[in-house]
Amino acid sequence: MTMTKRKLGNSGIEVPPLMLGGNVFGWTIDEAQSFKVLDGFLDGGFNFIDTADIYSRWAPGNRGGESETILGNWMKSRGNRARLTLATKCGIEMGPGKKGLSRKYLFEAAEASLNRLQTDYIDLYQSHTEDLETPLEETLGAYADLIRAGKVRAIGASNFSAPRLEAAIETSARLSLPRYESLQPNYKLYDRAGYEDALEPVCRKHGLGVIPYYSLASGFLTGKYRSEADTSKSPRGAGVAKKYLNERGFRILKALDEVAAAHHATPASVALAWLIARPGITAPIASATTTDQLQDLLKAVELKLDAAAMDKLNRASG
């Protein structure tokens, strides 16, 4: 597959317009199945992968780091680290005293992630959430040292408010420190206002890369969940039922179905293609638990939605 790569802010890193989410590795799929999905992703011509140290601490029996460990084992077994653009995140609590973006903890978290990933460097190291107790100068200074040490290539932010993101960028410029080159927001057809109203102007103003998570609304935008009965299909089902099974959700699904039928595609491909076509979006993040699901995701990159399709989706989700 030939595709136009996109720049990740001013980092010099170029990436394909789709990112594979690693939150399912070690949670809803085991290592062997994770390897199959990862192999299929790389074989499809893609190489941009996202994970976090916290994945998947919430699952019974897990401690966090499961996803990074699986990714590390896969890269070691395949010898393919140099082919990948690898992103991970830190800052959410991993245990007593293990959270935040202080200098001390950033160094500790980075080393732990590098060990689990079995690599010498992280391409995109992201602050997983704001830490209002730590000065931005301290956090960005620590990142500067990690970059100087060759352990990190670029940094990004996730779940930041617009004022905090703007303040971080101003601090970087004022003190000549590395800046956040990307934002990872919760943005998709169902959830638009939070990003479009406040965060998008900041990202566009500063030329930040944008890599939205929950791009498929935990599977809802694939059409997998259309009734309460469907929600028993997945560990995510209860949350899907509570948030998306409503009049607006069904209106969006109807539009996805209609556009998918017209373009001989699936709702999942259409939902991702809508994001890929949005101004300023670098690469939506999507997860797959099977190679069949993965193919739906990869096809989104080739799917070109016309103005009528974009308008239908915009009106349904507005």
Q: CATH number of the domain that 70 lies in? A: 3.20.20.100
> Could you list the active site residues?
55
**Residue 233 scores a pLDDT above 90:** no
Residue 172 lies in a domain: yes
Directed axis angle between helix 31-43 and helix 291-299, to 10°? 30
Contacts of 131 (CB under 8 A, 6+ apart): 91, 100, 101, 102, 139
Task: Report yes or no on 157 lying in a domain.
Answer: yes
Look at residue 43 and tell me if it is in a domain: yes
The confidence band for 172, taking pLDDT boundaries of 50, 70 and 90, is very high
Query: For residue 15, is pLDDT > 80?
Result: yes
Q: At what angle do helices 66-78 and 31-43 cross, to 10 degrees?
A: 60
Judged by average pLDDT, the poorest of 3-7, 60-64, 230-234, 275-279 is 230-234
Q: What is the pLDDT of residue 235?
A: 65
Residue 87 in domain? yes
Q: How confident is the model at residue 229, as a pLDDT?
A: 80
Q: What is the 3-state secondary structure (H, E, C) of 120-184?
A: CCEEEEEECCCCCCCCHHHHHHHHHHHHHCCCEEEEEEECCCHHHHHHHHHHHHHHCCCCEEEEE
What mean pLDDT value characterizes the chain? 96
Confidence at residue 3, expressed as pLDDT on a 0 to 100 scale? 84
Q: What percent of the chain has pLDDT over 90?
A: 92
**Domain residue limits at 100:** 6-184
pLDDT at 236 over 70: no
Instruction: Report yes or no on 223 lying in a domain.
Output: no
How many domains, in total, are found in the chain?
1
Read off the pLDDT band of 232 (50, 70, 90): confident
The pLDDT-based confidence of 239 (bands split at 50, 70, 90) is confident
Instruction: Output the pLDDT for position 1.
Output: 63
pLDDT recorded at residue 231: 74
Residue 281 lies in a domain: no
pLDDT digits (tens, 9 = 90+) for 186-227: 999 999 999 999 999 999 999 999 999 999 999 999 999 888
Residue 63 domain-assigned (yes or no): yes
- Residue 202: inside a domain, yes or no? no
In this prediction, residues 280-309 reach a mean pLDDT of 97
What is the pLDDT, as a whole number, of residue 242?
78
- 108-130 pLDDT tens trace: 999 999 999 999 999 999 999 99
